[in-house]
A and B are shown apart, each in its own frame.
Chain A
Amino acid sequence: MIAAEKVPMSTDKSNPSNNSFSLSLDTWAVIAALLLALAVKLDILKNVSW
Chain B
Amino acid sequence: MASATSLPRVESDNRLLNTLSVVPGVLLLAAIGYAAKMLERSINTYAKVHHWIFPNIEYVLWAILIGLVISNTLAIPKIFQAGIATYEFWLKLGIVLLGARFILADVLKLGGISLALVVIEITLSLALMTFLGKLFKLKPKLISLLAIGSAVCGVSAIIAAKGAIDADDEDSSFAIAAILALGALSLFTFPAIAHSLHMNDTAYGLWAGLGVDNTAEATAAGALYSDAAGKVAVLAKTARNAMIGFVVLGYAIYWAGRGQAETVSNKAAFLWRKFPKFILGFLLISVLVSFHTFSKDQVASLGNLSKWAFLLTFAGVGLQTNFRRMSKQGLRPFIVGALGEVLIACLTLGLVVSANWIWGL
Q: Which residues of A does B touch, CB under 8 Å?
A: 1-7, 11-15, 19-20, 24-30, 32-34, 36-37, 40-41, 45-50
Contacts and interface: CB of A to CB of B under 8 A. Distances in A.
B159 A29 contact: no
B277 interface: yes
Contacts of A28: 89
A4 to B, nearest CB: 5
A37 B289 CA distance: 10
18 contacts: A2-B265, A3-B163, A3-B256, A4-B163, A7-B160, A13-B156, A15-B276, A20-B11, A20-B14, A27-B277, A30-B96, A33-B93, A34-B284, A36-B97, A37-B97, A41-B294, A47-B300, A48-B302
Task: Tell me what chain B mostly uses at the interface: helix, strand, loop, or mixed.
Answer: helix
A3 B96 contact: no
Interface stretch (B197-205, B217-225, B303-311): B303-311
A30 B297 CA distance: 22
A13 B273 contact: no
A48 B265 CA distance: 48
Given A7-B163, A20-B18, A30-B96, A37 B156 contact: no
Contact of A33 (B96, B244, B252): B96
Contacts of B256: 3
Interface residues of B, number: 54
Contacts of B14: 20
Instruction: Enumerate the 9 nearest inter-chain pairs by beta-carbon distance, A residue then B residue, closest first.
Output: A7-B163, A30-B281, A29-B92, A33-B96, A3-B262, A14-B156, A26-B277, A48-B301, A50-B304
A26 B284 CA distance: 14
B93 A24 contact: no
Of A1, A11, A15, A28, the most chain B CB neighbours within 10 A belong to A15
A15 B160 contact: yes
Interface of B: 11, 14-15, 18-19, 88-89, 92-93, 95-97, 100, 155-157, 159-160, 162-166, 244, 252, 256, 261-266, 270, 273-274, 276-278, 280-281, 284-285, 288, 293-294, 297-298, 300-302, 304-305, 307-308
A40 B307 contact: no
A3 B166 contact: yes
A7 B159 contact: yes
A33 B15 contact: no
A12 to B, nearest CB: 5
A33 to B, nearest CB: 4
Contacts of B276: 14-15, 26
B281 A34 contact: yes
Contacts of A1: 262
B288 A37 contact: yes
A30 B285 CA distance: 10
A36 B305 contact: yes
A48 B96 contact: no
A30 B263 CA distance: 31
A35 to B, nearest CB: 10
A14 B157 contact: yes
B228 to A, nearest CB: 15
A36 B262 CA distance: 41
A12 B274 CA distance: 10
Nearest to A3: B262
A48 B294 CA distance: 14
